Amino acid sequence: MTETDIIFAGSIPSLYDKYLGSVLFEPFADDLAKRLSKLSAGRVLETAAGTGIVTRALLRSLPASVSLVATDLNQPMLDHAAAQTSASNVTWQKVDAQSLPFPDGTFDAVVCQFGVMFFPDKPRAYREARRVLKPGGCFIFNVWDRIEDNEFSDVVSAAMAEMFPDDPPRFLARTPYGYHNQRVIVDELRSAGFTVTKLETLTRRSLASSCRDPAIGFCQGSPLRNEIESLDASRLAEATEVAARKIRERFGDGSVDGKMQAHVIIAS
């Protein structure tokens, strides 16, 4: 992982939410929220909340008697997320998931959607999640499977490699789609003191109204943008058009529909 892989600033948060929210994240956010829907009271911590896609799903699924603390390391992402909801049972806080500022045994559940891949020290983040959980509490999160099982992402990554053959932008394969080995995940959770109670692979469809939506989302609304601009900032619009063209060639004109796949892990 490079330093730019964790920078979500400028226009990235709004473009991320607009162009990748429904296309990639909402189907899996609803899944995570449903897995906690039986919680009738208590406190939930969300780490790497991003633009609040899971936060909003949790607020729809959980009763007002459950309080939610939504955290992220990137203040611009939190600012965007907070602007999307005014629920009284959620608070927003800039937090490093590897060093949680909460007492031991504070939360009934810790939730993280597609965030652990960005933690430089994953075992440390797992130990922190375990520390702040109450006895019997659960840690539930998801990670993307291989990039080859996530079609839009794979097409865009290949398009960027073709456009910049001497120094291909590898953000997608390197970080968001780079932590999919189930054995490694289970071993790191066990070393942090967790028992893995479920590990499930889910396949969903990624639906977009046009080929440009995922192209804009990835090239301009994710840290892939930082990598493209570090190579040649003047070619960002061109990179977006190249990605859109490759998606169109693969999936056709009009609305597009691609496979996406992720692992869901529940640990106690």
Q: How confident is the model at residue 80 (pLDDT cuts 50, 70, 90)?
A: very high
Global pTM reads 0.96
CB-based contact 106:129 (threshold 8 Å): no
- Give yes or no for residue 158 having a pLDDT over 90: yes
- Give yes or no for residue 1 having a pLDDT over 90: no
Q: pLDDT value at position 4?
A: 87
Residue 205: which CATH number? 3.40.50.150
In degrees rounded to 5, what are phi and psi of residue 218? -75, -50
Q: How far apart are CA 246 and CA 258, in angstroms?
A: 13
CB-based contact 4:227 (threshold 8 Å): yes
53-73 average pLDDT score? 97
Q: Which of 22, 19, 79 is nearest to 49 (CA)?
A: 79
Which residues have a Cβ under 8 Å from the Cβ of 214 and sit 6 or more positions away? Answer: 19, 20, 23, 24, 152, 156, 206, 208, 243, 247, 256, 258
Share of the chain above pLDDT 90, in %: 97
Q: pLDDT value at position 220?
A: 98
Q: pLDDT value at position 90?
A: 97
Q: What is the mean pLDDT of the chain?
A: 97
Q: pLDDT value at position 92?
A: 97
Q: pLDDT value at position 3?
A: 84
Q: How confident is the model at residue 82 (pLDDT cuts 50, 70, 90)?
A: very high
- The boundaries of the domain holding residue 184 are 3-267
Q: pLDDT value at position 59?
A: 96
80-106 average pLDDT score? 96
Number of structural domains, the chain?
1
